[in-house]
Amino acid sequence: MTSSYASRAPRHVAIIMDGNNRWAKARGLSGIRGHHAGVESVRAVIQRAAERKLEAVTLFAFSSENWKRPSQEVSALMELFIIALRREINRLHRNGIRLSIIGERERLPNSLQKAIGKAEALTRDNSGLHLIIAVNYGGRWDIAQAAKRLAERVERGQLAAADIDEARFDSEMRIDDVPDVDLCIRTSGEQRISNFLLWRMAYAELYFSPLYWPDFGVEAFDEALEAFSQRKRRFGMTDEQVEVQGA
């Protein structure tokens, strides 16, 4: 069967990388071993996304709720983030990939904040795939922060409340230079979006894979893209209107 992906490609794919701990538990390994294995899937999916000429991929690496996990696991995750950044950033840069980290950075270890700053500065002018990683991120937090910034501008007299519309609000979100999410993938069989990119996913197509994240490789990613290409996206219109628009 000829793939229809080329004609109906998502511009922005968001991925909730779920199942690292369960993958490790099923193999009698520690949870952090599962996170290490998950890094390999990250590398494979990023490479495939770049090959497919996607505009943006956003990965949910650590939510604002994940601080509730055991402190030993959280510390190991923070260390893994630093190691992965330092190990992968030159590869990303060579391939023209731009890296951005979104989330509340103040709570992250200083060493991780510094590594993030260096990685973003190195890749800032790259024009290939925009890789966005959400660390200590929550969708409600993102929306609340945008509202706060707009309220402060109104207080200072720089903006009239009547001028606040969707476009103005959109410009205050943490990622304001990428298209809305077209496709959201979640692994491990769970079927929820877990406070991820709430504003950006208003019309996202949802794809749930039964695979744990470390088992989600290039073939599984291609299957998700193919499934997206078969979806009929209406954006509030009727089937007839969509067909006319696509003619």
Catalytic-labelled residue, pool 18, 21, 136, 182: 18
Active-site residue, from 20, 21, 66, 95 = 66
Task: Measure the N-to-C terminal CA separation of the chain; round to a whole number of Å.
Answer: 23
Structure letter (DSSP) for residue 159: S
The answer to whether 134 and 60 have CB atoms below 8 angstroms apart is: yes
Q: What count of Cα atoms within 13 Å lies in the side-chain half-sphere of residue 225?
A: 25
Q: Is 222 considered catalytic here?
A: no
- Who contacts 166 (Cβ-Cβ below 8 Å, separation ≥6)? none
Q: Of 45, 199, 190, give the one whose Cα is nearest residue 137.
A: 199
Sign of CA dihedral 18, 10, 45, 135: negative
Active site residue 170: no
Catalytic residues: 18, 66
